[in-house]
Amino acid sequence: MANFKKIIILRPILITGTDMKKILLGCAIAATAIMTAACCGQPDINGKWNILKVNGEEITVTGEEKPFIEFNTEESKVHGFTGCNIMNGAYTQDGKEIAFGNMATTMMAGPEENMKAESAVLGAMGKVAFVKADGENILLLDEEKNVVMELGK
């Protein structure tokens, strides 16, 4: 019995200008789809975020602990430090929409600067309606899509 070997011959393919345009257009469409999915999906908010700004103003407090919000996306819970007190509660997120509920805080007094920061943080939390990724930060927005809080890692 004869033993035959299969031979594959590869030939160069000539790509014309029209074919190249089709290839580049396909690549551009794929890249646009990927970028749209990345920017328009649900922002990843899991973990601890430092509160950098509230209503456009940097948050400053005295003491070592700085205000933060920590999201537990598996349990839809939120925990944080507002400047003087600890806060805990729940949140719901549907795409870019976010809402806080069942929030509770401890009720300790602190330095005036910290009390001012806490008042701003809690006031902003009550206005939050949307979340948006902004590079490495996330922005919490009100109903009119104004930035009420800027958070960073």
16 contacts 83 by C-beta, under 8 angstroms: no
Number of domains making up the chain: 1
118 contacts 110 by C-beta, under 8 angstroms: yes
Q: Tell me: the pLDDT tens digits for 106-142? A: 999 999 999 999 999 999 999 999 999 999 999 999 9
Tell me, yes or no, whether 121 lies in a domain: yes
pTM score of the predicted model: 0.73
Tell me, yes or no, whether 80 lies in a domain: yes
Cβ neighbors of 111 (< 8 A, separation 6 or more) are 61, 62, 63, 84
Distance CA 45, CA 1 (A): 68
Q: What is the CATH number of the domain that holds 107?
A: 2.40.128.270
Q: Tell me: the pLDDT tens digits for 13-72? A: 666 666 656 666 555 565 554 554 445 578 999 999 999 999 999 999 999 999 999 999
| Residue scoring higher pLDDT (79 or 29) | 79
| Domain coverage including residue 63 | 47-152
